[in-house]
Structure 1
């Protein structure tokens, strides 16, 4: 007797991947981060021209620059509430409208009125818009992460870095061509506004409205998020890593010039090494997180940042110090983005917690430059950089706070979907 005749082979079912809406949202979040960085760096690239056109001293310029930070820090605690009330799309829309208005106001203040006060007002509005935009796009990015089943927040933040580099390069070109401030800022403000309004159309759809008689689900209240020990400790961890990053942004080039007798362009090249390696670290973050946990990745980065800063300060020669700058960049890469992911572990409370963590973290950008300046006046710039090593050591001690809370539906809790890497 013969057995039953086998039928045609049936292919094994393929794992279902994310739908097009999620992939579209991923691209939209990349665009939002890149455009946010582009708008920020567009203003930064005109700072020398603004100082010259308005005839400002360095101390007056520092007060002018403070207006942008104040606008962000004042708005950040309220941004979560705005996201909960308006939703992510409308919050980003309101944010980019404020950023564009701020840039246009700065352009008028510099080239038409010649008023530092008007420029400060424009920077305050730009800072406020940036804060709202920042919180909303981080909440959206965390939501996309959950639906993809992959930790890619660091790549979104790499998009911000790409935007800053692109705007800085364009700024150098426009300065060499003699393009005035009003044309530069005015034109790019309109282009950033238009591009962002297109990008947010790809964000994830809002949750459906409840049926009649059904109670609407309520998210975490903002005041309650400020009372959560884990959320506050996450904020301190992010603050420390933001301080580590901001110290390099503001003082690394000067430290290399003063401490090693490097030329100004060599000092800037040292800062470029930091930025490049930080961006590479953010691009490779998802690869690392596919091998180790979020807490382990944070610990490794914080420890590497400590080593990098120590090498920069204590190196016997400039080439060795540049190796330290590279390690510093990689070490600073994941602290901020992974802090945002940890704050958004629970989607229902994501807006409130991201707002709190961002508010605490952004205080580093407000307090960091004056603190380092004070230390540099009492020691020297290179030695003052050791403060970044101390901050990174604190972040290392607090890394365990990024562990997902019990019962939270987090990235990685389901098998990761096979998603092609975004271009």
Structure 2
């Protein structure tokens, strides 16, 4: 993070007190987990199970004395990635927006919906200039320090402030009457990202300030529409994709590789060329393997999952289909493969054919891994699917094949989920 002074802000427009208070309240509610923003959960996670964060354990340091940030997190919807300390936890995109809350321990959901996490990242309710002006001009917020700076090449302002408890922000009995906060307000191309360390009771505020400074230095900002999740992203029944996630580079699969009666197949560009090479190699070996299902949007998965519930009942449907937001097909890197020998169906019989054996032996060298192998339902939660192949890249696919692990076991053992793919 550069410490050079950011460009001067434009002339401040005059505002009346009511407008300022409303704007400030809106900004605080987004930053602190309250309010009704469209991507804000109705309950706010905090460390542990109480409404107050536990004492902050000492964070490991680098040789230079800075906090050691060994884990990474990506929020494709808002458009940022950030690293955070070993031993800390963050929201995974299910109960709360991905990468929003960070705490030195498990994130819980308090029954009364109150509480805060020691560090939070959130999209601002208004643009960068408006948020900065509101904080500076407000009569209800005491600004202790203000410093223009830059973050990831974007204009930013670093504040330390003291706030009073406001209606709607946190009405739990344990909430303090005033709160010290260390904030970054960061311009993000017409919007703003807020990063906040809270002076919570029983937490090490000074350490959390240092952690936030270090995290902000690792911040990567992109437009939400320019973001793909990692090729090694874990997606299973518990860990889903960010709300509204759509890969940005989905391209059509040539019609010659479609199973009869199943047109309009598509995958991400990164997986297309390896998929075509694999299917062409299979044909050279005498096996006409084709794609019956590939990329599915969130909404298509809603319909797919509901279809199986209607056909089988919910308990059985969950063994053969993923809930919306938890399907590897939404990644755009997964293809369901079939052959004429099994009637172009998605059938366990594929695993007993020579074509199925060819896939098992050769798919990893093209970068594809079998997500739901035979005899692994107790681990994966899904029945055997010899047709379901996911692209993770040749290096990882070959290592996975040699590991003897299920795909999700292999992916969750990686040091991080990697950069966007």
TM-score by length of 2: 0.25
Structure in which a larger fraction of residues adopt strand: 2
Which of the pair has the greater relative contact order for Cα pairs under 8 Å at 6+ separation?
1
Structure showing greater radius of gyration is 2
TM-score by length of 1: 0.25
